[in-house]
């Protein structure tokens, strides 16, 4: 009999809820006990992120600013608005639905610790206030549940926090120890934990309540990183409207597209140092617009084709293929399409589909055609009698045609009159089949001379960019006037657009779409749609980039669930197939020794 134990988890600085989504999918089992994970809430200052949190986790989140007043002034440079107040431990309890969590997961703001921020900026009052929010958030969580402490705390951040944030970390560790926790610090790669196609190294601080959780905490299983193409290859092409607005190609500056095209795959901006530039222009390369390149183009079967555009028709690119598989119907009805039966063979089963293209529904009939209709197309001599007149009076219904010797009746029938001679009398039936009503015209149609309208009509005419155009007519086409223009415009360096430039390696070097980034983070499977709050790619990308990959969070939840089940079943020690999460902290994680300092 399986006993299910609920593991409740709560999230501070929860963002869009990716980590909580992963924890909800966590699975653990020890003997006859099985863990079921349930999110009881999350807190974040961003209303859009909280809207996403509810959508991804199925649990309402809470919009809450956790700054104290001094931090608010330092970060925003102004006083808080009227009605603003500092968050309290009671607010955290309410955000958790007044339930007690077993695990609290914190992914505090990391901009102040990130290597993308210069050392000088990281020391400004604004970012120091953001850094201190990490400490305040931990204090609020500890105070909120001080009467019945959570079994585990998980604090996730960028690896550089171990250097830039060392004083803050020391305070956090001391605070956790004061509340009865043993603490260990480590780093991990979310990609390896979640079997992702990205390497995402993160700092992880794990704290276990010494009295409640005696067992070791083992590392999650690590898996090799996947290739980007494994994820993106199963997704629609960028720009596909069916994939939603998050899958549109970002509009980049023209100079950025050019730079991307010249960066070698697997490299970065340093590839550009290999290019020869003279007077601000590439010396060895020329970018040629190919908007209508490949007009009526046919791709060879063994070659690749260019990028698929929204207007992929034969007349605006190489969007046709020389398909060697002329017998495409070979598999229809087991290869019997257009099948012809021998006269001496039996036929297949008669079906409701009996046209030649649907099976062997034709026969090679050896019987002479005259057996049944022996007068078909027969012509009776002028001197002989006619066969019996029937209802079918056409040439195919019997001998109902005659060899009429009276050629003079329509003298000149199909005759062509020379250009320098007079024509015959014009009669009411003046067609080529009734007399000499055709002429041998010596004037070739395209030989033009002065005074000929076609010569000066501007057919296939190209108007210079600096000239004016003629009057626009209803039949304005390139082949009947000056209806083309010599357009000198290439995009300016700072023009934002979507461009397809075939790079030197024959591929399209392009940025990831927002949906592709979400898939690489494990937020969605390649075939799924994702809807986030708002309509701004920049906001979406920030929330996605701040997210904890759900597959990595799922792996972390699994090992923590196992540790909790061991503790609840009375076990104080268990062997695992993976290393103890923090090897040098094994004693600190496994022994209830409040007299010894925690390992770091």
pLDDT above 90: percentage of residues in the chain: 28
3-state class of 371 per DSSP?
helix
**pLDDT of the residue at 585:** 33
CATH class of the region 3-226+549-590: alpha beta
Q: How confident is residue 350, by pLDDT bands cut at 50, 70 and 90?
A: low
Mean pLDDT of the chain: 79
**Cβ proximity of 65 and 91 under 8 Å:** no
Whether residue 334 is predicted with pLDDT greater than 60 in this model: the reply is no
Instruction: Indicate if the pLDDT at residue 53 is higher than 50.
Output: yes
| 130 φ/ψ angles, rounded to the nearest 5 degrees | -65, -40
Distance CA 436, CA 160 (A): 98
Is pLDDT above 60 for 576? no
**Alpha-carbon gap, residue 11 to 107, rounded angstroms:** 8
pLDDT in tens, 222-235: 889 888 888 888 88
Query: What is the distance between the alpha carbons of residues 305 and 163, in angstroms, rounded to a whole number?
Result: 50
505-561 pLDDT tens trace? 888 888 888 898 899 899 998 878 888 998 888 889 889 988 999 999 999 999 999
pLDDT digits (tens, 9 = 90+) for 459-497: 777 878 788 777 776 767 666 777 777 777 778 888 888
pLDDT over threshold 80, residue 156: yes
Q: What digits encode the pLDDT tens for the residues 172-197?
A: 999 999 999 999 888 889 999 999 98
Residue 15 has pLDDT above 90, yes or no: yes
583 pLDDT band (50/70/90 cuts)? very low
pTM over cut 0.85: no
Which range has the worst mean pLDDT, 380-394, 438-452, 583-597? 583-597
**Could you tell me which residue, 427 or 6, shows the higher pLDDT?**
6
Q: Given this model, what pLDDT does residue 400 score?
A: 65
- Token readout for 103 is 């695990």
What are the structural domain ranges in the chain?
Answer: 3-226+549-590
What pLDDT sits at residue 357? 54
Apex CA 143: angle with CA 138 and CA 145, to 5°? Answer: 105
Mean pLDDT on 333-343: 62
pLDDT for residue 184 = 87
pLDDT recorded at residue 481: 76
In this predicted structure, what is the pLDDT of residue 363? 72
Closest Cα to residue 385, out of 374, 396, 400?
Answer: 400
Q: How many CA atoms lie within 13 A of 145 on its CB side?
A: 28
More confident residue, 508 or 380: 508
pLDDT of residue 588: 33
Which tens digits make up the pLDDT trace of 230-275? 888 888 888 888 888 898 888 888 888 888 888 888 777 788 888 8
Identify the band that residue 113 occupies on the pLDDT scale cut at 50, 70 and 90.
Answer: confident
pLDDT score recorded for residue 499: 84
What 3-state class would DSSP assign to 344?
A: coil
């Amino acid at each position: 009999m399986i006993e299910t134990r609920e593991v409740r988890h709560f999230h501070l600085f929860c963002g869009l809820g990716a980590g909580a989504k992963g924890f909800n999918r966590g699975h653990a089992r020890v003997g006859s006990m099985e863990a079921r994970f349930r999110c009881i809430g999350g807190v974040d200052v961003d209303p859009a992120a909280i809207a996403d949190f509810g959508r991804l986790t199925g649990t309402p989140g809470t919009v809450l600013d956790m700054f104290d007043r001094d931090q608010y002034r330092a970060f925003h440079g102004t006083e808080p608005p009227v009605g603003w107040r500092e968050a309290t431990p009671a607010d955290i309890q309410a955000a958790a639905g007044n339930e007690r969590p077993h695990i609290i997961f914190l992914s505090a703001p990391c901009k102040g610790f990130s290597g993308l921020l210069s050392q000088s900026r990281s020391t400004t009052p604004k970012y120091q206030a953001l850094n201190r929010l990490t400490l305040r958030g931990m204090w609020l969580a500890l105070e909120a549940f001080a009467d019945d402490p959570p079994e585990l705390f998980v604090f996730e951040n960028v690896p550089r926090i171990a250097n830039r944030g060392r004083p803050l970390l020391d305070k956090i560790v001391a605070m956790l120890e004061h509340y009865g926790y043993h603490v260990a610090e480590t780093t991990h790669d979310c990609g390896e934990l979640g079997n992702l196609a990205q390497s995402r190294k993160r700092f992880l601080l794990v704290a276990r309540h010494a009295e409640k959780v005696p067992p070791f905490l083992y590392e999650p299983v690590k898996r090799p990183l996947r290739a980007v193409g494994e994820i993106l290859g199963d997704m629609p092409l960028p720009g596909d409207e069916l994939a939603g607005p998050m899958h549109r190609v970002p509009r980049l500056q023209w100079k950025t597209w050019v730079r991307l095209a010249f960066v070698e795959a697997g490299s970065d901006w340093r590839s550009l140092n290999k290019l020869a530039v003279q007077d601000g222009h590439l010396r060895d390369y020329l970018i040629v617009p190919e908007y209508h390149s490949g007009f009526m183009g046919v791709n060879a079967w063994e070659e690749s084709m260019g990028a698929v555009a929204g207007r992929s028709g034969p007349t605006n690119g190489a969007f046709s293929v020389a398909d060697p598989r002329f017998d495409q119907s070979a598999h229809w009805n087991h290869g019997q399409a257009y099948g012809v039966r021998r006269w001496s063979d039996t036929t297949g089963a008669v079906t409701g589909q009996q046209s030649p293209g649907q099976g062997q529904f034709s026969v090679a009939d050896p019987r002479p055609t005259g057996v049944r209709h022996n007068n078909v197309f027969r012509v009776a001599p002028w001197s002989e009698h006619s066969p019996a007149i029937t209802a079918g009076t056409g040439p195919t219904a019997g001998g109902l045609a005659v060899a009429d010797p009276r050629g003079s009746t329509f003298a000149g029938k199909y005759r062509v009159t020379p250009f320098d001679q007079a024509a015959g009398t014009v009669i009411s039936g003046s067609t080529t089949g009734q007399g000499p009503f055709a002429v041998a015209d010596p004037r070739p149609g395209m030989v033009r001379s002065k005074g000929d309208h076609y010569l000066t009509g501007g057919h296939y005419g190209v108007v210079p960019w600096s000239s004016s155009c003629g009057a626009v007519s209803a039949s304005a086409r390139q082949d009947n006037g000056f209806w083309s223009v010599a357009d000198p415009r290439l995009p300016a360096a700072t023009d934002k657009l979507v461009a397809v430039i075939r790079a030197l390696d024959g591929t399209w070097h392009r940025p990831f779409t927002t949906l592709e980034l979400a898939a690489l983070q494990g937020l969605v499977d390649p075939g799924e749609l994702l809807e986030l709050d708002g309509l701004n790619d920049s906001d979406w990308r920030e929330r996605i980039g701040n997210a904890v990959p759900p597959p990595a969070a799922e792996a972390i939840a699994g090992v923590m669930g196992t540790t909790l089940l061991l503790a609840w079943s009375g076990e104080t020690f268990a062997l695992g197939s993976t290393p103890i999460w923090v090897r040098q902290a094994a004693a600190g994680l496994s022994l209830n020794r409040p007299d010894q300092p925690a390992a770091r």
